[in-house]
Each structure stands twice: as structure tokens, then as C-alpha cells.
Structure 1
Amino acid sequence: MKNTRTVLFALGFVIAAISFVQVPIQASAKNVVSVTDNQPLTTDANTRNYLTTGSAPLYSKVPVNKTAKVVTKADSLKALGTTTDAGQTYFRGYRVASTSDGKWYLKVVSFDKTYRGWIYAGTTDPTADSTTVSGGLKFTETFIEDPLPTYLTNTILYFTTPKASTLTYVAPDYTQYKVGRNLSSTTNFYKDPLIATKIGSKQNNRSANITYYYVTDAAHPQVNGWVKQSDVTTSPAN
């Protein structure tokens, strides 16, 4: 009987020890954060342009993934957000992921394609309204149109000089991702009369907030597009 009691006591001790070990393992399993959704971000392109705030780095994968690496540090992204380039360092969001701890991440790419990766975008679902981000990103307008001034309404314009670098754009350069020049040269059209139908300017000190006109060319409609204000004049070139 004594031996039986000893065996039962030892067995009970082992079971208790096993139970003690299992408890923290089960608890830690419940705390593992995982990706719960990963899908394309399909909101209007104009609502998916961002500046980086510098409060979060850019990762190669959603950072709950063990193999995720920092591809651009937060300090570098902060500098990009306040740069004065032409707009190359704006970011476009194109995928979105949520995690089990209630966070949202966007996959973004810079307009010049130099930077690409996942970045923390706050705790609000951006799939319905992609302007409602926080964390490492803030939504921005890259270009804003203004009412056309009266003096431009009936003014005939011409390209300033017959040079290849005078361009027209579908959207002013680096104000939309992968949307840029409409015409690679205006050399053959510099004597064409132009009419300005829209006016607008870059934002966030990109290209010093330069002004653009949208011009139309009745003789050659393929010319129609946005052009820098400095590239047109009221007198035809010789």
C-alpha cells in the first residue's frame, strides 16, 4: 500500500508539472499576431497619394511576419516627406492588410519607384476611404486646380520656344503615379495658337508649387495637355 501511495503521489506531481508547463504555452499561442486580410486597395487613385510622416519605417513584408525586414528607416522617410523635389517622393498605396491586433498596413511605392514596401497606416479601415490613414502616412493633394482667371479666358497663348524640353502632360509631372507626359516634344507645334482652359499648381512645395495651364490646340489636338506656365507666352516665337 505504501508503494502504491508513493507511485500515485509521484504521478500526481508529474501531471501537475505538465499542466504548469502547458499553461504559458497556451497563453502565448493566443497572443500571436497574424495577418487577417491582404487585398488590393481599389479606391480612387486620387485618394491614394501620400506623404510619409516619419513615425514608422517601411518593411519588406507586413511586420508581423518573422521574415519582415526594414527597407527604409523612419528617419529617412521623414526627410522624404518634407523634400522639395518635383514629386518623385510621393507614395501611392496599392495593397492593404489588416492584422489580428486591429492594425492596418498599406503597401506603397514612391512615384519614382525608388522606395517600395509595407508601412503602418493606423487603426482605421482604409478600404472604403483611403484618405483616413495615420501612422506612417498622411493623405495629400499633389495638385489643385483653381478657377481660370478672366484674363486667360480669351487670351491666345503660344509655346515659348521651339525646344524638345517643352512638354505637355496628361497630369503634371509627378502629381500622379505612372501618369505623365502627353507629348514628348512641342518643336513642331510652337507656332500653333493655344487656349488655356484650366489652371492649377503643385502642392507641398514640390517644384516650388509651380503653376500649370491646361492648353488646347485646335489645329493639333494631340498637343492638348498640361504645360508649365513658364513654357507659354502671348507672343509667337520667331
Structure 2
Amino acid sequence: MSLLRYWHQRDFLNTFRVVQFCLLANSLPIIFPLIACLHQGERLDHRSCEALEVVLKSLHFDFINLQAAQLEENGASSLLDMILYYESTTHLDISDNSSMGTSSWRALAHLIKQSVCLYRLDVCNVALVDYPVQALSKALRSSRLTVLHLQHVQLSGMPLYTLVGALKTNQALRELHLANNLLNSYQDALHLRDLLRFNNTLQTLELSNNAVADAGKCSYINPRTTWFTVYYVDVW
């Protein structure tokens, strides 16, 4: 069967058998178009995730986009473990994967805590409550991440309190994006002020489309000097 026919198939197992052949043949120019079939919204089940190992152990990526990949529990855990083991990427997006369970979040937390290459993580459009926010927060205490996107993850209240508690001692994070989290101008604003009071390395905090998105509250939330940036979009 020709490579062109494989190119147009959506069967990951067949696709990565071809990738494996290309690796053995040192045919890197052929590999990259094949990898391009991994795009936002493509479903990755457990078998598909396992098939990706031949690529992850051979190539390093600037960006792995698993957004809306419908990651299953076992598949997500295996894939995240592989990304950590092979240090496969510097930027990972796992947004819009609402089926991730306890073992998946545990694997993600382990990746965040242990990876020496991962510098940006996007976890958006999921419910970051209970165990997910606890696992993520614990890992962030000592992670090397410099950019974290947590848009639309239901952070208001206890989840934000848990996250802030971890980030107070984080010495690596430079950008924190918290748009669309229904953060309020009272308790949530106090948590954010505590974060900026104790964390001296964070340089950018995005609060677009939240109830705290009021330019008049900028000085209240931000006790820092002028080099620190708080982004607001007042839509309320």
C-alpha cells in the first residue's frame, strides 16, 4: 500500500506503522506530514495513544496539541507518561478533555512536577475542581512551568484558593492566564492579592472576562510595582 494512501487514512495505528517504517529508513521529510494528521479534535483512544510512542521517543516537538482529543482515562495516562519519559515537548495543550479521570490528572501532575523541558501548559474548558485542582496545585509548587493557561475552568472560590496556596511559593511561573472563570471582586480578588503579595516572580496575570475585570480595582489587586502587568477586559 502506498504512503499516499496511508496519508489520507484516519486510522492512527496504520499511520504510525508507516511512521515507524520512515524512522527506520531515516525518511524524516515523510514523517512530518504524517504527524500533521494529529490535529485539534482528533479522537485518541488507548490504542492510538500507545501507537504514538514510536514518534514521541524519536522526535521532540515545540508544541503538542491534544485539545478536544477525547482522551480516555487509560490512554491519557499512558500518553502523558510517555511525554514525560521522552521529554517530548516544551508546550502542551490538553484543553477540552472532560473525560480525564483521577489517573489522568495524577499523570499530568507528575509531568508538571518532573519535566525539565515543559515550559507552557494549556488546560482550558474543563472543570478544575476537587481532585484535578488539588493535583495540579500540588505539582505547581515546584514545577518549571513559566506559562500557564487556565481559562474557563470554574476556578472561583475554593479552587482558586487551592491554586493560590500553591503558587505563593512557586519560583518559576511568569505568566498566569485566568480568563473566563467567573472570578468575583470580593473573596477571589483577595486571593489574587495574596498571590501577588507572596509570589515575586509572576509578571503577567490575565483576568479577562471576570467580575474582577474592572480597571478601578487594578491597584487593589496588584500591590506590585509597574513592571507587573494585569490584563483586564471589562465586560460586566
Q: Shorter-chain TM-score: what band?
A: under 0.3
Q: Which has the larger radius of gyration?
A: 1
Where is the helix percentage greater, Structure 1 or Structure 2?
A: 2
Give TM-score scaled by structure 2 length. Answer: 0.24
> Which of structures 1 and 2 has the larger relative contact order (alpha carbons within 8 angstroms, sep 6+)?
1
Where is the strand percentage greater, Structure 1 or Structure 2?
A: 1
